[in-house]
Amino acid sequence: MKILTAEQIRAWDQFTIEHEPITSIDLMERAASKCFEWLEENNWLIFPFTIFCGKGNNGGDGLAIARMLANRGCTVSVYILEFGHKGTEDFQANLARLHQYPAVTIQFIQEESPEGVNGTNFHELSKNTVVIDALFGSGLARPLDGITSKLVDHINGSGCTVIAIDIPSGMAVDRSSKGNTIIKADYTLSFQTYKLAFLAGENSEFMGEVVILDIGLSSEYLSRLGTKLELIDDSIIDSIYKPRNKFAHKGNFGHALIIAGSYGKIGAAVLSSKSCLRTGAGLLTCFIPKCGYEIMQTALPEAMVMTDTNSSIITKVDDDPSKYDSIGIGPGIGTASETRSAIKELLSVHKKPIVIDADGLNGLSMEKKLPPLPADSILTPHPKEFERLFGECKDDFERIDKAIVNAKLLNCSIVLKGHHTLIATAGGKGYFNSTGNAGMATAGSGDVLTGMITALLAQGYSSEQAAILGVYLHGCAGDIAAIENSQEAMIAGDIIDSIGKAFKQLAS
């Protein structure tokens, strides 16, 4: 699913109007109808509604929804922000239509009015009222201030259920709104496709549950449009996933090497190795410190095990790395100077892509300069590890941009972990994951992902494909594990146990 900028969204509306063809007010009616249908299907019509409108097209949506609610006998009050201008033509047309419904209360909110709550003409909102936010849509270009900011604070403090139309007012589509006044919605009814703002963690407290409504915008426009960002959907996964040939043997699915563990952290090696096998690697060798030999042989008899000469840490990968189809390094290895030297040596001699995670990344961040990486390697940092490597970021949007820039510079894929994990590719594109849940924020979850991506890389998937499919499957397995165990009780091993079910779901 392509993720559009605010400018591209406006152009999509205009293209649809010109080429369907359809008038702009009829397109607005279509959008309002979809919102009304959602309200009806989810049993909201039993409540009274208070709708706050600006004088742009988002406000026009709100007025059209008010009319549809009134048609069904709902109690509706409308409040319009008054700034002395008429508003858009479609807003004015919908306001004229709404005036034909005398049961709908229409009032204007003006800065100079001394009446009402806190020195304004804001009325008290009953807790059982459903508030619809139609103040500002995707076209907002500046932070809210003055009477508008006070109104948003009033709505946020009301305790009412709030449903935002298009995007919560005060939230920008494709840049940070951090620190700004924003509507705190319980639901956001948006149109046609996800907006970048909905994928940024910093906006999580404002958008509630996001619902994407299909309003029939032109598919021709979207097919022609190139975008830098996409949300991973079924079509993307279907284009990547390769079912097994029934005549295949283990040699067809690659030989993976996992370099992991240190004294007290052999569990990380077990988790990454087990997930590697569960994700389909034909053969697996684990390279670990001596202290983990018995643990690994017992926990994972399907894997071959090699050990470092050191009993506690990795000091030198004393093996020919070229015989492996993929290498994953980092889970639980620590950042001792000997281990960091072993990583640098491996990077200097190995020419195939390497998956680098956790302490592998932390070790690299301790170097004065990031050493050259084999082309198409995959880095899997969480936000703090990312900032240790590439510098601090003032907000999520800067972090996204920096990930895409550095992936291209380093000719690698960067898997920036989060609720909607970003896969930034060497080609300059970014893919946000659509699976996963908060229960996966648990020790060892990242180690599981490392093993999964390493396995896919060993099976012949490209680095970009392995990263996208690995992250998607990891989240899918986590969603299955959450259903079976709850988010609170989930542990990393539950994700591994659900990988097979995730593959079944993918195949079906």
* 91 token code pair: 């807003």
Please state whether beta strands 130-134 and 105-109 pair in parallel, antiparallel, or not at all (unpaired): unpaired
Contact 232, 239 (CB under 8 A): no
- Count Cβ neighbours within 10 Å for each residue of 260-269 and write b for 16 or more, e otherwise: bbbeebbbbb
Instruction: Check whether the bond before 21 is cis (ω within 30° of 0).
Output: yes
Predicted local distance difference test score (pLDDT) of residue 121: 59
Report the DSSP beta bridge partners of residue 164.
133, 188
Q: Return per-residue pLDDT of the chain as tens, 508 residues.
A: 999 999 999 999 999 999 999 999 999 999 999 999 999 999 999 999 999 999 999 999 999 999 999 999 999 999 999 887 889 999 999 999 999 999 999 999 986 454 544 445 588 899 999 999 999 988 888 999 999 999 999 999 999 999 999 999 999 999 999 999 999 999 999 999 999 999 999 999 999 999 999 999 999 999 999 999 999 999 999 999 999 888 888 888 999 999 999 999 999 999 999 999 999 999 999 999 999 999 999 999 999 999 999 999 999 998 889 999 999 999 999 999 999 999 999 999 999 999 999 999 999 999 989 999 999 999 999 999 999 999 999 999 999 999 999 999 999 999 999 999 999 999 999 999 999 999 999 999 999 999 999 999 999 999 999 999 999 999 999 999 999 999 999 999 999 999 999 999 998 8
Please state which CATH class domain 2-225 belongs to.
alpha beta
Phi and psi angles of residue 303, each rounded to the nearest 5 degrees, phi first: -95, 150
Measured between alpha carbons, how far is 33 from 355 in angstroms, rounded to an integer? 48
Contact 286, 255 (CB under 8 A): no
Predicted local distance difference test score (pLDDT) of residue 50: 97
Give the domain ranges of the chain: 2-225, 234-239+252-507
Predicted local distance difference test score (pLDDT) of residue 354: 97
Give the helix ranges, DSSP H, for 331-462. 337-349, 358-365, 383-390, 396-410, 445-458
Predicted local distance difference test score (pLDDT) of residue 111: 67
Residue 487: burial class (beta carbons within 10 Å; 0-12, 13-18, 19+): middle
The residue type found at 258 is: I
Predicted local distance difference test score (pLDDT) of residue 316: 94
**2-225 and 234-239+252-507: identical CATH topology:** no
Contact partners, residue 135, CB within 8 Å, separation at least 6:
52, 53, 54, 58, 59, 81, 148, 151, 152, 169, 183
Measured between alpha carbons, how far is 380 from 403 in angstroms, rounded to an integer? 11
CA-to-CA separations, 110 to 56, 58, 152, in angstroms, rounded: 16, 19, 14
The domain 234-239+252-507 is classified under which CATH number: 3.30.70.980, 3.30.70.20, 3.40.980.10, 3.40.1190.20? 3.40.1190.20
Measured between alpha carbons, how far is 144 from 171 in angstroms, rounded to an integer? 9
Report the DSSP beta bridge partners of residue 326.
256
Predicted local distance difference test score (pLDDT) of residue 101: 94
* 266 token code pair: 């052999």
Q: How many CA atoms lie within 13 A of 451 on its CB side?
A: 33
Predicted local distance difference test score (pLDDT) of residue 88: 94
Contact 79, 161 (CB under 8 A): no
Contact 29, 64 (CB under 8 A): yes
CA-to-CA separations, 51 to 78, 103, 131, 141, in angstroms, rounded: 5, 14, 6, 22
Tally of CB atoms within 10 A around 127? 8
Contact 327, 321 (CB under 8 A): yes
- Reduced to 3 states (helix: H, G, I; strand: E, B; else coil), residue 336 is coil
